[in-house]
Amino acid sequence: MSILITRHGQTDWNAEHKVQGKADINLNETGKKQAEETREKLLSENIDLIICSPLNRAKQTANIINHGRNIQIIYDDRISERDFGEFEGKHTEDFDYNGFWSYKRNIKYERAENIRDFFNRIYSFLDDIKKTYPGKNILLVAHGGVSIPVNCYFNGIPQDDNLLSLVLKNCDYTEYEF
């Protein structure tokens, strides 16, 4: 069983270095082109099912990638982006962005989703799809933040706690084997 994960295409907020968690931002023209390029790269991949975040930027990316293939798409809230709470829409330079992504520091926030709660959500999702879809090749269309715990699920949490080094760029993808 293999899991491919791709991050959605670029949005205006990505280009402006603003964090977007639950904000439902659409792809910009660059993001649409990135999704088309990823579609072309994934044409040779045997994909049985697409599981997608319900946020528009991911849905748009999944639909572009799936164009002409007619693969079933299931939307799952568990792979929506981390809730940035009070930091939503802020520039990454305007708060302790590295601290926000520190698994070791495990900072609790007023409204933003705690990192360990976020990891647990993604790990639980991966455990579930492993049981539910044995032998299937699944494409996850999700978010940069989601790509971090997915990587850690398969490879462990880095000793240096540099989780941001694991973030997929817009429309990049990687493959993991269960």
Q: What is the largest CA-CA distance in the chain?
A: 45
- 56-66 and 29-42 helices, crossing angle to 10°: 40
Q: How far is CA 87 from the centre of its chain?
A: 18
The C-alpha atoms of residue 6 and residue 137 are separated, in whole angstroms, by 14
For residues 81-102, average pLDDT: 96
In whole angstroms, what is the distance from residue 77 CA to residue 41 CA?
26
Q: How many domains does the chain have?
A: 1
Provide the mean pLDDT of the chain: 97
Instruction: Tell me the catalytic residues.
Output: 8, 81
pLDDT given at position 96 = 96
Cα→Cα distances 40→19, 69, 135, Å:
28, 11, 24
> Is residue 83 very low, low, confident or very high in pLDDT (cuts 50, 70, 90)?
very high
Q: Specify the pLDDT at position 125.
A: 98
In this predicted model, what pLDDT tens digit does every residue of 120-148 receive, in sequence order?
Answer: 999 999 999 999 999 999 999 999 999 99
**DSSP assignment string, the chain:** -EEEEEEPPPBHHHHTTB--SS--PPB-HHHHHHHHHHHHHHTTS--SEEEE-SSHHHHHHHHHHHTTT---EEE-GGGSPP--GGGTT-BGGGTTHHHHT-TTT----SSSPPHHHHHHHHHHHHHHHHHHSTT-EEEEEE-HHHHHHHHHHHH---TT--GGGGPPPTT-EEEEE-
Report yes or no: 123 and 149 within 8 Å, Cβ to Cβ: yes
pLDDT band at 89 (very low <50, low <70, confident <90, very high): very high
Give the range of the structural domain holding residue 120, as residue numbers without chain letter: 2-177
pTM of whole model > 0.95?
yes
What are 50-70's pLDDT values in tens digits? 999 999 999 999 999 999 999
Look at residue 87 in the predicted model and tell me its pLDDT.
97
Mean pLDDT of 10-21: 96
CATH number, position 138: 3.40.50.1240
Strands 2-7 and 173-177: antiparallel
